[in-house]
Amino acid sequence: MKAVRSLIRAGVAGLCVTLALPGVPALAQGAPSAQTAQGRVAGTWDGGVRVFKGIAYASPPVGERRWRPPAPPAAWRGVRAADRFGPDCMQASYPADSVYFEHPRSTSEDCLTLNIWTPAKPARNAPVIVWIHGGSLQFGGSAGPIYDGREYAKRGVVFVSINYRLGVLGWLAYPELSAESADGVS
């Protein structure tokens, strides 16, 4: 958990600092852009706020990384589109009568992404909310309509929502994996 918190904290802090800088250049089409530690991202405008969706905060936790703590994402060249939510993490099906989630949502093991809504001109020390969705560590995702940060951003708050590994892919308590973890958990 410390590794995940550190990665999220570093990614959010770096992006928030960049987003708060006045005069961050936009792309020719007028899309808002920001520089992250890994590369530049291009978001969208929504109701007068800047929105960046589906930004990876860790390398894909697949293959050899499936049962390991998250690792930093790889850097990229050019501008990466940040205009769509990343997939929800693999999980059991949503409850059929759920009012919290849109159906159907795509799922993937490569799901460690975050979304950011920020005022058009954020204050240097703007408050930041990092929202971690509910779902009993079994289901859910950061793209649900109740996690839309637009209204917060309109009021001067930087709003961040994240996806995290769910179910057995995120919470398997296997002794050998727990022994490898800095926190003593898998």
> Percentage helix, strand, coil, to 5, in the chain?
20, 25, 55
Q: Are 36 and 76 in contact (CB under 8 A)?
A: no
The hierarchical CATH code for the domain 2-180 is 3.40.50.1820
Would you list the domain boundaries of the chain?
2-180
| pLDDT greater than 80 at residue 60 | yes
SS3 of residue 117 by DSSP = strand
Q: What's the mean pLDDT when you consider all of the chain?
A: 83
Q: What is the DSSP letter of 86?
A: P
- Residues 6 or more apart whose CB falls under 8 angstroms from that of 164 comprise 4, 89, 112, 132, 170
Q: 40: which 2 tokens?
A: 């530049």
The yes-or-no verdict on residue 105 having pLDDT over 50 is yes
Higher pLDDT, 169 or 25: 169
What is the C-alpha separation between 145 and 44, in angstroms, rounded? 17
The neighbouring-strand residues paired with 88 are 107
pLDDT over 70 (residue 46) = yes
Query: What is the pLDDT at residue 122?
Result: 84
Cα(99)–Cα(122) distance, integer angstroms: 32
Mind listing the pLDDT tens digit for each residue in 140-156? 899 988 899 999 999 99
Closest CA to 160 of 147, 146, 144: 147
Q: Regarding predicted confidence, which is higher, 66 or 4? A: 66
Distance CA 11, CA 113 (A): 10
pLDDT of residue 18: 47
Strand, coil or helix: 79: strand
> Could you give the percent of the chain with pLDDT greater than 90?
52
Q: What percent of the chain has pLDDT over 70?
A: 77
Q: Does 109 score more than 70 pLDDT? A: yes
Q: What average pLDDT score do residues 158-172 get? A: 92
97 DSSP 8-state letter: T
**pLDDT score, position 4:** 54
